[in-house]
Every structure is written in C-alpha cells, then in structure tokens.
Structure 1
C-alpha cells in the first residue's frame, strides 16, 4: 500500500494529486512531526495558564477581538466558531478537491505553528485514510481570513456534525464517523481557529488545476504539431537558433517538443521544395512563443502553490523557539492574495492556449484557409457537414473562457464589520479557473479530432514520429469520420484523453 508522510515542509503537488485522486494512498506523520506540534500546543497552554490575552483563544474573533472570553467558555468559543462559520452555499466540491484540501490542511498544521493538539490533526488524517469526505459547498469564501466558510464545513465532520460522503453515500458527519469506526474530537482552546483559518481551499483546488494545466500544454504541443502536418506547414520556425535569440525557458521547451514530434516527417518532405508559401500563419508558426508563455506561467504558478502547500496560514501563529516561553503573534498569513493572483494567471494562460487551438481548428475546417483539404474535413461536403459545428463549439468555449478570465483577485469587498477590509477572492478564482480548464481540454480535444482527420487525407504519407504515435493513441479511442455522426461523444472522449495525459508519451 502506497504511503505518504507529511511534515509541513516537503509536500509536492504531485503528492497532492496522488492523494486526491487515489483514496487507497495512506497519509501519516513523518517522524518528529507530532512532537513539533505538541511544542506549539504547550505554548498555548502556558499562555492560558498565565491569563494572557490571545486573539481567538481568550477573545472573540474579527470585530469581536476586544471581547474577553471567560476561561470556562473557551471550548464553547471554538465549537461556536466552527458552527457559525459553516455558511457555505452551492454544489459540493468534488471528492478529489475535498481530499486535496484535507491533505493540505493537515500538512500546514503539521508545521507546528498553529497550537493545535496532534490528536486533532491525526483525526483529520483518519478521515482521509478511511475515505470520510466532508461535504463542502463550493461558494462562500472571499479568501481572507482564509477560506473560512468551506474549511468550517470540513471541521464540522471532525466534531461529529455537518455532512460527509462515505463509500458513495451522503450522510451526517456523525454517521460517517460511526461507520468508519472513528470518534469525534472535542475542540479545545485555539483549535477551531486553527482548523478554519487558512487558504487550503483555493490552494487545494489550484494544485489540481495546475496539474491539469500542465497536461493541457503538453497536449497542445501534440495537437499543434498534428495540425501543422495536416495543413502541410513547416517546422522551420522552431529552429534552435531562433529560440536562442529569445531565450525564454518555456519557448525553448515548446520548440524542442515540437521538433521531436515532427521529426522524420514524410509529409514535410513532400512539399519542401515546391510550396509557394513563405511562412505559416501565427497559430502554427508562433506555437513556441504562445505555448511557451503558458509554460512560463505554469512554472511560476507551481512555485507559488508549492510554497503555499507548505506554509502556516492561520492566525495567530505560535513560535515555540521565540523567547523563553515561546511567542504567540497575530499576523495575516491567511490572506489569499498570492494564490488568488496566480489562479487568475492560470485561467488566462489556459484561455490563450484554447484561443490559439481554436484558430488552428478553423484553419483545418475552412476551405479558404486549409489549402487542399476538403471543406470541413469531410469527403462528401454538402451532404455531410463534417466538423463544421465542432469548430463552432470550440469558438463558444473559447469565448466563455475569455469572460471567465476576468481576474477575481482585483476585486475586494469589506467583511467582518470592516475589520477585514481587503479580501482576495481566491476561492472564486479557483472555481472559475476549474471551468476554464475543462473548456480548454474540450477545445484541444476538438482540434485533435480535426487534425487527426486531416491526416487521413495525407495518407499514405506519414507524419513525424511523435505525431504518428499520438495519432495511433488517438485512433485507438476515436475512429476517423467516414460520414456524419453525432460528435458530442467524440468531443468528450478527446477531452478525456487530454485530461488524463494520454498524449504525454509521444515526446
């Protein structure tokens, strides 16, 4: 059985995706992690014993931070925090998203800066390992103080309340715990605040989206190379000398991938010396520059999300090694702006990949642009419409993506009686970026459908080695279009090939 250990410092996005998508993977603490958490908990206990005023521990929250809480009501304070903040609305997050959020929440608490007892975090891992998935509505977070509402729905199940999914059935949190053989936890001082104050909803969804986006850009290279072959384009614009003259890493990586996909192409050789065209349109010629920009964006987004996955984001934070008794200090690590901005960038980069893909699709189906290919890639134009409407679907999805690419992170609305007077809208950015990713997968799927069909009209000439391998993988799932048929299932199947990374192999 696969096992991943967390320590608060070294979780990777690949591990997040693995745990999120494979419930059989077990998660445990790395050695020494529980001792580190206990040290920060000891600081909280000493502060309580001394009668110190600590935000969210011996006071109310937000605008009520100046309201002292009697010692005999501190546990009630934490319980009420979770109940009152569970104000989510809308459809539940998917299971993979929920699992990613649970893993990230456990990992950041494992850093030992949150003052939470190890047993509480262990129970969170127990939920993950037993397949108890809290029902978390996707709306209700403004991204500061963290993802309060959705994380409160997660915490509800820990205390035996709320709702959860267990073995495919939705039920109360109490019933899900009972069936899994788990006991609810009783929250103590600081622990409710440690559970619901953070950025793990936007970061968890974002981590999964980025992994999907990284597969999308690889599929875009395959689709673009296949379209180039179908349109009898030239790979000369991908020459290494051109890339060295403008040495952006993503551009160089895209050009190298395209050269590999197109190597040893018989189609290219068939028109090398008698083609009157001097150069291809931008959607073909500028693929390294356009796709490469997305690669650069994804590399930056990865850096931010991996940092966030291993960051303490609640408030206040507890530092056991600061001073003789440790330090409890209020700050703003819960603010989601770093994540919110890169989620907007993710949506924009994906939208651009879809936009240029749709332009290649248009060139393939439009007889005024495709050269000697039949109109709409059907051997019987007129009686048959071929891929005419598939291109329109791609155009519709691209235009929707443009609307969804308006940045969420430039918006803010005061909350908490104006104590929380600037918020990030990071969760909003994550939800709309998810739709952009799904749309872009379909747009690329449509291009692959059209590009593969164009290759049928180039036979018996063979495309480049990588393109040919990609074509074989594609055709193992989706047959050529010999006459009009319902294309919606083909688009779904092609989008799934993109989503699953089936086209990563022809490198």
Structure 2
C-alpha cells in the first residue's frame, strides 16, 4: 500500500461538492490517488458563507443548537457567551471513550474522505480552514488512531469521529510515516498548526455518518470482486468435478430474468467456452452447489447496484445536524446523522456474501469426497504409489473452510434490528450502521479466506482432472491455471498451507486477477 503523497495531482480526487463514487473513496483509501480540496473561488466562498452565517447568527440572536446550547438531551442548557468557544472542544473531549481494535490504514483514509465529502456539500456551517486541515491529513497521510467500537450509528459516529476532531486540533495520537506519535508533533512535521474550532465545527465533524460510510465503500468494492472470483472458481470446479456446463444455458436463464443471475450464467458460459454446452452422459443434473451457482452468486450480483446507490447517496450527503443553509439563511434541525441506509446496505451485503462463501464451501466438500468428485483422488491429494497412504491433501483445509464459512454465516445476524435507546432517550431509535459495517467487513474477511482456499483447490483439481483425461480450457481458465501453477506448487507431499493462504489472500485483496473486464 502506497502513500497518497506519491501520486500526482493529475490523478486527484477533487472535493468540490460534486458527486463522488465508491471507487474515488477506495482509491484514496489504498493510496492510489491524492485528495485535493477544490481551489475554485466560488466553491470556497460557498463553504465560508456557512461559517460566516453561523457567526452572524451568534452575534445577532445568541441562540443556536450545539453552539450556544448543550448537545442532545442537554439542548435546554444554555452556554454562557464567554464559554461558547470552548464547547466544541468539550464535545470531542468527553467522547474520547472509544474501545476495540483501531481502524486500519485504508479504513481510516476512507473515513477521512467520507467526512470531507460530506462537509464539502456546504451545508454544515464550517470554515474553509477546517476543510483544508482535513485535506492536509489525507495529503500528508496523517492518520488519526480511531477505535472501532462505540458508535450506535445515529447522532452520527460521534465517538470514533471525536478522534478525528481531536487530531485536527493537535490532540490524541496518529500514525505518521509508520510511527505512532502525538497529533501536534505530526502536524508540526508537515508545517501545520492545530485548529481552534469555530462554533458548530465540533458538531459538524462528529455528528455524521463518515465512519460507517467509509467502511461501506471498502466493503462494497471487496464484495464486488468476491462476486467475480466466486464465478470464476465455480467454472473451474465444474470442470474439475466433471460437471455439466449445460446448467448455464442461455435459453434456460432467459426464463428467469434477474439480470445479475443472468450475468453470472453468461460469465460461466464464457469460462466454459460453450454457448450450447453438451450434457454429461452419466448425469443429467449436478448437485445444487454447481447447478444453482448463478442463483446464489446472482443474488449478490443483483444486490450490488442497489447497494451502490445507497452508499453513494450517503457519501454525497450533508449528514450532520443542524444543517446550515446560508443562501436562504436557514438553520435546519433534523436527523440526517441517522445511518439507516448504510445499516441496510451492510446487513444485506454481508448476508449475500456469506451465502456465496457457503456455496464455495459446499463445492469444496464435493471436490474432496470420492463419493461425489467423479474419479478424483481423496482430498485432492496428488500423492501416488505407496506414499498416497500417508498424504492427506486438502483434508484439513476443507475443515478450515467449513469453520470460516460457519463463522461468516453466524455474522449475518442483522445489526440494524438491535436499536438501543441512549443519551437520556434523546437518541431513542438508532441505526447501528457502524456495527453493521464492521460486521460486514468481518464476513468479507472470512469469505476471502474461503476464496483463498478455493484457489488452492482450483489449482489442485484442474491438474488432477487433467491427469485423468484431456480437458480443453477456455483462454481465461487456461491463463488462470497457469498463474495459479506459478504461485502454488502442486500438493503431492503434505505441507503447511498457511503461507500459501496468506499470499493468496493478499493477492485477492490487491485484485491480482483481471476477471470479466
């Protein structure tokens, strides 16, 4: 993973209030592009007008929620004018109670990008200086250390985002150039000074959905690649198991017009190099994990466009409270911090992904079992002769795949149904969107481990089938098998596979294989 500093501004993601995509956020998260706050004078004037309007309201009327009052249930508490400037700093201070594992590097960058995208809508009453400080964190790769636990996903990701707010002000800790250090020190190393937050700015940073949305962008992209790889692996498993390609016939799938399901079948036909495949003379129908693969993978494929819409709409929204409409001189009190759409997206995505992992787990169970693999050796062991008796091939790997799959399926319990009433019943209905996003990433992690194992099985299964009979592979499958053969030695003698799995897992997450482009 590279640093954003190493990429020229010509490949920049420009934050100007215009619509960004999941791919924009993921490119920033993985250090492939640089973030730039638009220098356009009109855009900057629009942003600054919100901060100026808040300042004028404060001077003229003296009462603004979260500026001259306490937060949430404390909105009836009036803050003395002399203490108004301290209030935003108290907000991030008392929310410094996060726990759990820290967000990863890519996850933290995605959070920064999501918050900058929202504040760039110009509806949050913040200054250009605040946006520039956020831009600087991304530009210099100064990453707040953000605990992953503590958000209920309404009233925003308050606790995790408090760590971002504190870092902007030179407090708490960051990761900078591989070292953990104080935020003020890191800012000084790149010539920056801590911010002093203006009224409303603490609330604007923290009272939003940036954590769940940033994580959702990463989850969506990983799930989309998993969908493609599961299809490719299914094609390989059809050949390795001596299965029937006719199950993916175009005329058959024209009768059930789910576009994602049809696309999956189309990809399988291409991989199997036949538009009108012939039937296996011995078996009219394969087991469901092969025959119904487009129906399982197709659910994920069909969900992806809808889930993209939910995630990108949230990404490109103003989602704090209150919103500041400087053009019409309005303060709009609402609940845009509520993360229900991301919660639905993540609960849905993790279920579809786990079902695909389960499909592949069932395919592997068939491949290693001599009762169902149609002539392949037990456990796909390539050992021959008398040494076959002491070698066990993929026996333990199949057990691990079953364990990972079971844990992934267990993780599909929807988080969004576990709303809790918090903060003296002010936040009495909450989304749990951030928990759903974290759960989804865990399900993806486990499912990618299943994919890594299936890549080993693919290399092994095709080779062993080829020893028994002549098989003709499509160019795509031949290239895949050649690549796997370079990455993986054939398992003839038992060996530990954890190193192979880790390397394949890294390759999957780096999208090392071009699939159906």
1:73 pairs with 2:83: yes
The number of aligned residues is 500
Residue 76 of structure 2 aligns to a residue in which SS? Answer: coil
* Partner in structure 2 of residue 13 of structure 1: 22
How far, CA to CA, are the matches of 1:502 and 1:263 in structure 2? 23
CA contact (8 A) 1:57 1:189 kept: yes
1:102 pairs with 2:112: yes
* Partner in structure 2 of residue 289 of structure 1: 295
* Displacement after TM superposition at 1:449 (Å): 1.2
* Displacement after TM superposition at 1:204 (Å): 0.3
How far, CA to CA, are the matches of 1:441 and 1:211 in structure 2? 13
What CA deviation, in whole Å up to 9, does each residue of 1:364-387 have, x standing for no partner? 101111011111111334311000
* Displacement after TM superposition at 1:504 (Å): 2.7
What CA deviation, in whole Å up to 9, does each residue of 1:297-334 have, x standing for no partner? 22211111111110001000011233xxx100210000
Equivalent residue in structure 1 for 2:158, among 145, 148, 172: 148
How far, CA to CA, are the matches of 2:32 and 2:270 in structure 1? 36
1:257 pairs with 2:267: yes
How far, CA to CA, are the matches of 1:498 and 1:47 in structure 2? 53
CA contact (8 A) 1:53 1:59 kept: yes
* Partner in structure 2 of residue 225 of structure 1: 235
1:449 pairs with 2:456: yes
How far, CA to CA, are the matches of 2:32 and 2:377 in structure 1? 48
* Displacement after TM superposition at 1:52 (Å): 4.5
CA contact (8 A) 1:8 1:311 kept: no
* Displacement after TM superposition at 1:463 (Å): 2.1
Q: What stretches of structure 1 of length at least 5 have no aligned partner?
A: none
TM-score, length basis structure 2: 0.94
RMSD value, Cα: 1.7
How far, CA to CA, are the matches of 1:220 and 1:473 in structure 2? 17
* Displacement after TM superposition at 1:62 (Å): 0.7
Q: Which has the higher contact order (CA 8 A, sep 6+)?
A: 1
Q: What stretches of structure 2 of length at least 5 have no aligned partner?
A: 1-7
CA contact (8 A) 1:262 1:465 kept: no
What CA deviation, in whole Å up to 9, does each residue of 1:319-350 have, x standing for no partner? 1233xxx1002100001111111111111111
CA contact (8 A) 1:215 1:504 kept: no
CA contact (8 A) 1:36 1:111 kept: no
Does 345-354 or 493-502 show the bigger shift?
493-502
* Partner in structure 2 of residue 475 of structure 1: 485
* Partner in structure 2 of residue 161 of structure 1: 171
1:27-426 aligned within 5 A: 27-29=36-38, 31=40, 32-263=42-273, 272=278, 275-322=281-328, 326-380=329-383, 381-426=388-433
How far, CA to CA, are the matches of 1:274 and 1:416 in structure 2? 64
* Displacement after TM superposition at 1:443 (Å): 0.6
* Partner in structure 2 of residue 433 of structure 1: 440
CA contact (8 A) 1:364 1:451 kept: no
1:498 pairs with 2:508: yes
